[in-house]
Amino acid sequence: MKKKIILIGTGGHAVSCIDVIESTKKFEIVGLIDKSKKQYLNVGNKKYRIFNEKNYLENKIAKYALICIGSDKLISKRNYLFEKYKKLGFDFPSIISPLAYVSKSSHVGKGSIVMHGAIINANVKIGLNCIINTKCLVEHDCRIGNNSHIATSANINGHVSIEKNCFIGSNTTIVPSVRIKENTFIKAFKLIKKNYE
């Protein structure tokens, strides 16, 4: 029997999350929570109901939740919503696309999503509420802190440590053994050769 899950947010990242979640065949998406005036989010030929938060919480039907806000400007909002819904009693599964590779020696924290085509190699630790976006490479022995977003096609080389609340832009490459301090924002297409401290 599939686990019921509610998604928080209705933007472009939510559309991609829906595609990943449906591909796992482990969850039934009961809808999305947002302030949008729309009643449904259309993804392909399927409609997903959009709930007002107050109305949904009065009659909640899902035990599981996932934060589906992906904008580089909304890292703090992701963290706020994750903590809020955790306190409301929701459980946050880790979601891993069947089209991604995650080493058996690595760990993906609760509320994190690993998107299509991502590769997470040996001895990696991904924190809570993270996005490992489409076609990312996270090499051996890396640490990704809670509430961080590694954007599309970023390359994180071995022994890199990225602390909490970081955004690493699309197609950015971080050379081995670099440390990125918490709350760091790195734009797309950067080559990072030294620590951010």
Question: According to the model, what pLDDT value does residue 56 have?
Answer: 86
Q: How far is CA 31 from CA 4, 9, 14, 34, 39, in A?
A: 10, 10, 11, 10, 10
Question: According to the model, what pLDDT value does residue 151 have?
Answer: 97
More confident residue, 35 or 175: 175
16-25, 39-48, 91-100, 163-172: the lowest-pLDDT one:
39-48
pLDDT (mean) for 29-57? 90
Q: Decide if pLDDT at 72 tops 80.
A: no
Q: 186, 168 in Cβ contact below 8 A?
A: yes
Name which of 41, 33, 28 is nearest 1 in CA terms: 28
